[in-house]
Structure 1
Amino acid sequence: MRLAFMGSPDFSVPALRALHEAGHEIAAVYAQPPKPAGRGQRETPCPVHRAALELGLPVRTPARVKRDAAEHAAFAALDLDVAVVAAYGLILPKPMLDAPRRGCLNIHASLLPRWRGAGPIQAAILTGDSQTGITIMQMEEGLDTGPMLLAEATPIGPRSTTPELHDALAEIGARLILRALEENPAATPQPEDGVTYAPKLAKADGRLDWTQPAVALDRRIRALTPWPGCFFQAGEEVVRVHAAEPVAGAGTPGALLAPDVVACGDGALRLLRLQRPGRAAMAAADLLRGYSLPAQLT
């Protein structure tokens, strides 16, 4: 099948590789433009761009496509059977959605209509969902509103983290998109009930509010690590929390109950892995041998 693949982050790479290995003709790979990264701020291609180059596939990196008539024409000229989209990062306008003969299929990291939007994996963990999954969706102009072709669920365990769930869902997505292309299943409209939205995350979302229950803060850390990351104020320093676990305990929210245990609005949180400014992350027990947290965290 002649197709275009449109994606940018690590999540998208397994699907691109699966389509290539399955023998589909990938006429073009669309990815976000290279961005400055690292200490030298060198222009760095995104993961999909790098994978496409390894596979010898042509790559296009338009900065925008919504109102670019020339880009719409170039896309139509590819004469595609279908386009596969996985976390591309740009909104496709109607001329591009309609150009491939079978339209554009999206690999979405939730069980739609739950968690439409930009951060479905993090939202599922933050809210304490017991499962999530992948939905293969026929794209339309609305935000993740299109009819569903296939879906597969996977459990969210009590200690699941975003990186673990991300990798599991990426593999499911790669497998499901091959099925969708081969089987061409009938499209099913999304239910009108149960719609939720996962907003785009910001750095401020990682601040730990000690008045919240310990179980909620634990979910936040598991959901928002590695990005945007969770943190608290310890005197003049901002300390990042890479791992923690809820434990029994009570006290004024933010008060230290032990060198590595902080009172929360309900219960307490044991700090397992921390990072001070300008230093590497390390086990909290090791860090606290030579550094003491203040008696009250904010």
Structure 2
Amino acid sequence: MRIVFMGTPQFAVPVLEALADAGHEIVACYSQPPRRAGRGKALTPSPVHARAEAMGVPVLTPLTLRDAEAQATFAAHDADVAVVAAYGLILPRAVLDAPRLGCLNVHASLLPRWRGAAPIQRAILAGDAETGVGIMQMEAGLDTGPVRLERRTPVGNKTAGDLTAELAKLGAAAMVEVLTDPDAYPPVPQAEEGVTHAAKIDKAEARLDFKGSATQAERQVRAFNPAPGAFFEVEGERIRVLAATVSTGGAPAGAIIGDRSGFAIGCGEGLLVPTLVQRAGRAAMRPDELIRGFPLPEGKILS
């Protein structure tokens, strides 16, 4: 098929690659414009932008698709289908209707649960037992379109990074399967019950909440790994917690307890036990390594 691909982050790269490997013709790639990143704040193309250029695919980075010129350019690709994976722009009706088969989206949740921007993180924070990926026929509403194919996976103890990589592969395979024979996967309307919204992650949510349960704090650790990184502050320094376990026991909420081998932090219920931490500007380290260079005051109450 003639495909216009639309995506931005690393999650979308395996989908782009799978389509090309399956023999489809990627006539154009749409991605978010380059952003300033790194210490030098140099303009950096998105992961999809960089990969598409390396594959020899023309890349377009419009700020909007709402004006007539952008819509005419899109229609001129004469695509059979547009494949969308975490693109980042709302597609107006003129774009949705331009390809012969419309626009198909790789969405990283079991719709209608977790419609919106951050389905993977929200599934972890909510303690969902499983999540998945769906191939959705896009329509004007926010992730409201019918689903052609769905794949599921347990959440377990996976981080957001783990699930992102896993769902990207599942979504890539599912998209290739649907495009092999679209008629074999008719769109099925989403259930009207069980709708939840996956709001965009606010960096403030990554501050560990010790007033709640240790189980919920551990979910924060996994949901915000690799970014923005769950953290607490002590003695004016931010400490990121990259991995942690939950233990029984009692201590005041936010209280540091431990010895040279490691430490735990009291929660409203149970203890959060960090197993991998990171100081600002440093490499990840074990808790005992942190304590040797940055002693944590026993009994200190973290806000």
For the aligned pair, the TM-score class normalised by the smaller chain equals over 0.9
Match of 1:75, SS state, is helix
The alignment's C-alpha RMSD in Å is 1.0
Q: Distance in 2 between matches of 1:129 and 1:103?
A: 31
What's the CA shift for 1:82? 0.5
After TM superposition, give the deviation of residue 278 of structure 1 in Å: 3.0
Matches of 2:55 and 2:236, distance apart in 1 = 48
Aligned structure 1 segments of 4 or more residues deviating by more than 6 angstroms: none
**Equivalent residue for 1:290, pick from 278, 288, 293:** 293
The residue number in structure 2 matching 1:179 is 177
> What number of residue pairs does the alignment pair up?
296
Three-state SS of the structure 1 residue aligned to 2:6 is strand
Asked whether 1:193 is paired with 2:196, we answer no
- Structure 2's unaligned 5+ residue stretches are none
- Matched position secondary structure for 1:3: strand
| Residue deviations 1:9-43 (CA, integer Å, cap 9, x gap) | 00000110010111111110001111111111111
Specify the SS of the correspondent of 1:209. coil
C-alpha separation between the residues in 1 aligned to 2:145 and 2:230? Answer: 34
CA distance in 2, matches of 1:248, 1:235: 27
* Aligned position for 1:136: 135
2:264 alignment counterpart: 261
Helix, strand or coil: the match of 2:219? helix
Counterpart contact for 1:235–1:297, Cα < 8 Å: no
Task: Give matches, 1:238-277, under 5 Å.
Answer: 238-259=238-259, 260-277=263-280
- The CA deviation at 1:248 is 1.5
Deviation at residue 290 of structure 1 after TM alignment: 2.3
Deviation of 1:226 (Å): 1.4
The Cα of 1:160 is off from its aligned counterpart by: 1.1
Counterpart of 2:20 in structure 1 is: 20
* Shift in Å, 1:220: 0.8
Once residues 198 and 38 of structure 2 are traced to their aligned partners in structure 1, the CA distance between those partners, rounded to angstroms, is: 29
Instruction: For 1:1-298, list aligned pairs within 5 A.
Output: 1-65=1-65, 67-157=66-156, 159-184=157-182, 185-259=185-259, 260-294=263-297, 295-298=300-303
Tell me the CA shift for residue 115 of structure 1: 0.6
Cα drift, residue 76 of structure 1: 0.6
Give the whole-Å Cα distance in 2 for the aligned partners of 1:35 and 1:127.
31
For residues 145-177 of structure 1, the C-alpha deviation after alignment (integer angstroms, 9 at most, x for no partner) is: 0011110111111x2111111111000000000
Which secondary structure state, in structure 1, belongs to the residue aligned with residue 94 of structure 2?
Answer: helix
The separation in 2 between residues aligned to 1:228 and 1:256, in whole angstroms, is 23
> CA contact under 8 A between 1:205 and 1:228: conserved in structure 2?
no
One-letter code of the match for 2:296?
L
Shift of 1:219: 0.7
